[in-house]
């Protein structure tokens, strides 16, 4: 089924008036009845699209079906922690079941999906949500990974039991046999507004790993890392074909950036990006201030969902709901990544040696920026 003409018309109107363009319209794909029934029963948004690639002579198409899940929390934050967690697991299970019924090969959950995004409160009580890499949530997902032969990206609040029980913001990559392939820890930690997560965990120490799964090479750029083009670049240099960006971000702060940064990363690095943001407003028992001079309040603002996929050819899917839980599915032929590398030649023309040199010099305390001053300014100062 082709996207309706209204969609194409809107694209054209938006281009003219807003200067925006979503690339070529994508075909929708039909998912099995089981999936739609689950989406009705559990009230979640369900959409599916198809990114195609050219045929090649020597490689078969490598079409993988990829899913993104966005969700609100399930119980008030005043409920006992284990009950909150169980309730979230329950609602996420319905969406993974729909993904499984749809033949999804790789799925990614949202950042710290097993808890409210409580870091705004700066209260250490929420550390109790943390788990070791092979904890309760991972085990829960390992069963589902085995059941559906699905690779699952599982972003948790990690308790590092082997290193002094410190916390990390971590994605655990679960293979389609239910095994843990490895982990990635969030590289860039925000200190902005209510996102002062450095109260809880530090910058990740796992580099920029790419995980070679049976469905393709994937990587995870967690949340605030999407603002850092170098972070995206590093996953590309290590060979990623799909990079997930599990996030938790609110409307007033980041919404105008949301449709830009992931698409740019997909274009610049010739890979697919799956962007996920949680939904809903989460209220906490004790009010807190936000460093903005406004009165104390008890919530973070609205997490605006809007999960979507971006392609290396600059096209993207429409986004999921701004308000409802959702499962977004896309078929993508991973051959497109190298096809775009060959077409545009960004890596070939990148002149990395210039930038390796610049960054090395920039790191030094006595770095002198390359500034050419208008001599008339110098005269005025004399």
Q: Is 260 in the site for a second copy (CB under 8 A)?
A: yes
199 binds a second copy (CB under 8 A): no
| Token couple for 160 | 């590092």
Scan residues 289-318 and list those touching a second copy (CB under 8 A): 306, 308, 313-318
Q: How far is CA 149 from the centre of its chain?
A: 22
Q: Determine if 366 is a binding residue for a second copy (CB under 8 A).
A: no
Site for a second copy, residues 146 to 175, rule: CB under 8 A: 173, 175
- Candidates 33-41, 106-114, 156-164, 359-367; binding stretch for a second copy (CB under 8 A): 359-367
Backbone angles phi, psi at 222, to 5 degrees: -80, 125
The catalytically annotated residue of 52, 137, 223, 316 is: 223
3-state secondary structure at position 11? helix
Query: Can you give the length of the chain in residues?
Result: 382
Choice between 75 and 314, CB closer to a second copy: 314
Q: How far is the CB of 125 from a second copy (least distance, A)?
A: 26
Q: Of the residues 52, 131, 137, 186, which is catalytic? A: 186
12 classed as catalytic: no
Q: Does the annotation mark 186 as catalytic? A: yes
222 DSSP 8-state letter: -
Our finding on whether 1 is near a second copy (CB under 8 A) is no
> Residue 227 has which token pair?
């603002």
Q: Does the protein bind a second copy through residue 258 (CB under 8 A)?
A: yes
Q: How many CB atoms lie within 10 A of CB 370?
A: 6
| Other CB atoms within 10 A of residue 280 CB | 18
Residue 58 vs 348, nearer CB to a second copy:
348
Task: Pick the closer one to a second copy by CB: 85 or 186.
Answer: 186
Q: Contact with a second copy (CB under 8 A): which of 238, 285, 286, 287?
A: 238
Minimum distance of a second copy from residue 238's CB (angstroms): 4
219 close to 265: Cβ distance less than 8 angstroms: no
Q: Is 107 or 173 the residue whose CB approaches a second copy more closely?
A: 173
Rounded to 5 degrees, φ, ψ at 70 are -120, 140
Nearer to a second copy, 35 or 223 (CB): 223
Residue 319 contacts a second copy per CB under 8 A: yes
Q: How far is CA 302 from CA 46, 61, 279, 288, in A?
A: 21, 40, 7, 16
Retrieve residue 105's tokens.
């090969």
Judge whether 158 and 184 are in contact, CB under 8 Å: no
Distances (CA, A) of 245 to 38, 164, 213: 25, 28, 18
Give the binding range for a second copy (CB under 8 A) out of 41-49, 101-109, 113-121, 250-258. 250-258
Q: Which of 5, 33, 296, 373 binds a second copy (CB under 8 A)?
A: 373
Stretch that binds a second copy, among 27-35, 68-76, 121-129, 358-366 (CB under 8 A): 358-366
Q: Which of 70, 28, 63 is nearest to 48 (CA)?
A: 28
Q: Does residue 232 belong to the site contacting a second copy (CB under 8 A)?
A: yes
Q: Between 182 and 298, name the residue whose CB sits nearer to a second copy.
A: 182
Q: Which of residues 178-197 bind a second copy (CB under 8 A)?
A: 179, 181-182, 187-192
Q: Which of 7, 34, 37, 80 forms a contact with a second copy (CB under 8 A)?
A: 7
The C-alpha torsion from 29 through 30 and 35 to 36, rounded to 10°, is 120
**Does residue 343 carry a catalytic annotation?**
no
Residue 2 touching a second copy (CB under 8 A): no
List, in sequence order, every residue forming a beta bridge with 330; answer none if it has no partner: 49, 66
Closest separation between CB of residue 1 and a second copy, Å?
A: 16
Q: What is the DSSP letter of 214?
A: T
Give the distance from CA 311 to its chain's centroid.
Answer: 14
Just list the catalytic residues.
111, 186, 223
């Amino acid at each position: 089924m082709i996207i309706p003409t209204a969609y194409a018309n809107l694209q054209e109107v938006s281009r003219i008036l807003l200067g925006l363009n979503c690339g070529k319209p994508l075909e929708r794909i039909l998912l099995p009845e089981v999936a739609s029934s689950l989406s009705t029963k559990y009230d979640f948004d369900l959409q599916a699209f198809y990114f195609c690639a050219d045929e090649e002579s020597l490689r078969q198409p490598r079409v993988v079906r990829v899913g993104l899940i966005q969700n609100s929390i399930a119980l008030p934050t005043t409920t006992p922690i284990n009950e909150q967690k169980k309730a979230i697991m329950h609602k996420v299970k319905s969406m993974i079941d729909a993904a499984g019924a749809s033949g999804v090969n790789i799925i990614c959950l949202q950042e710290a999906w097993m808890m409210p995004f409580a870091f705004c409160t700066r209260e250490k009580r929420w550390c109790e949500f943390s788990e070791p890499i092979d904890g309760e949530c991972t085990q829960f997902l390992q069963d589902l990974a085995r059941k559906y032969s699905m690779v699952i990206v599982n972003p948790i609040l990690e308790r590092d039991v082997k290193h002094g029980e410190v916390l990390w913001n971590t994605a655990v990559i679960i293979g389609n046999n239910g095994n843990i392939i490895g982990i990635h820890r969030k590289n860039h930690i925000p200190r902005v507004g209510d996102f002062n997560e450095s109260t809880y965990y530090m910058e990740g120490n796992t580099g920029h790993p790419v995980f070679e799964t049976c469905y393709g090479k994937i990587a995870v750029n967690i949340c605030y890392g999407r603002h850092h083009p170098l972070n995206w670049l590093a996953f590309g240099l290590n060979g990623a074909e799909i990079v997930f960006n599990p996030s938790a971000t609110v409307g007033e702060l980041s919404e105008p950036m949301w449709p830009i940064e992931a698409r740019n990363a997909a274009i610049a690095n010739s890979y697919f990006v799956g962007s996920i943001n949680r939904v809903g407003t989460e209220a906490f028992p004790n009010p807190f201030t936000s460093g903005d001079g406004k009165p104390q309040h008890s919530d973070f603002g609205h997490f605006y969902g809007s999960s979507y996929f971006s392609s290396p050819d600059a096209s993207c899917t429409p986004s999921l709901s701004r308000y409802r839980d959702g499962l977004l599915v896309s078929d993508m032929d991973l051959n497109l990544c190298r096809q775009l590398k060959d077409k545009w030649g960004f890596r070939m023309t990148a002149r990395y040696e210039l930038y390796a040199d610049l960054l090395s010099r920039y790191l030094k305390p006595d770095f002198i920026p390359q500034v050419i001053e208008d001599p008339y300014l110098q005269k005025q100062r004399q």
